[in-house]
């Protein structure tokens, strides 16, 4: 009986954490809505308005310290020795080597790299990404897109209605974040 109660408590905790994550990602809906407005814009003015809306929503989420689901790559393949089915929830794992994670990148047809910004898990599941997923601050994704020399910027929801924000747009966000 005691084991059943402990098991139920763990499931309840996971459910509560899942609800918290879903609520956090729901706050990113304005960004996705802005991208949709960009796609349906039929005049130059509406295109400009949609981009302004997206930038405003991003800045607001950055100021709120908002996060999004982010794929990471195990750069030195430290985790290859683990089988996920052998690791128990809450178990501490010791690694023989240092773990070096970097945000996964997306490549366009011309070979240019971008940091992905997925507004929610549904957008992430529309395509193939790295298998290490974590909640990551939107501000840090913008910083990564701005600071990495090998990328051109960020791409919002790369597997659906997507929008590329080049480095100059990311710099604008960071400048306004400081205000």
Rounded average pLDDT over 59-82: 86
156: which strand partners? 117, 163
CB 22 within 8 A of CB 140: no
**How high is the pLDDT of residue 82?**
66
- pLDDT more than 90, % of the chain: 65
Query: Which of 131, 163, 134 lies closest to 69 in space, CA to CA?
Result: 134
For the chain, what is the largest distance between any 2 Cα atoms, rounded to a whole number of angstroms?
A: 65
pTM of the complete model: 0.81
Query: Which of 178, 84, 72, 74 lies closest to 116 in space, CA to CA?
Result: 72
Rounded CA-CA distance 6/94 in Å is: 25
What's the domain range around 33? 2-178
Q: How many domains does the chain have?
A: 1
């Amino acid at each position: 009986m005691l084991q059943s109660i402990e098991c139920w408590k763990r499931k309840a905790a996971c459910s509560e954490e899942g609800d918290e994550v879903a609520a956090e990602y729901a706050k990113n809906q304005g960004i996705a809505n802005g991208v949709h407005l960009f796609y349906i814009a039929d005049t130059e003015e509406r295109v400009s308005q949609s981009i302004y809306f997206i930038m405003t929503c991003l800045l607001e989420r950055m100021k709120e310290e908002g996060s999004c689901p982010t794929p990471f790559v195990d750069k030195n393949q430290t985790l290859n020795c683990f089988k996920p089915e052998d690791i128990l929830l809450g178990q501490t794992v010791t690694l023989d080597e240092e773990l070096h994670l970097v945000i996964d990148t997306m490549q366009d047809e011309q070979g240019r790299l971008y940091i992905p910004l997925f507004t929610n898990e549904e957008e992430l599941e529309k395509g193939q990404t790295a298998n290490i997923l974590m909640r990551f601050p939107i501000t840090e994704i913008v910083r990564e897109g701005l600071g990495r020399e090998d990328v051109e910027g960020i791409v919002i929801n790369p597997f659906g209605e997507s929008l590329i924000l080049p480095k100059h747009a990311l710099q604008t966000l960071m400048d306004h974040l400081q205000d």
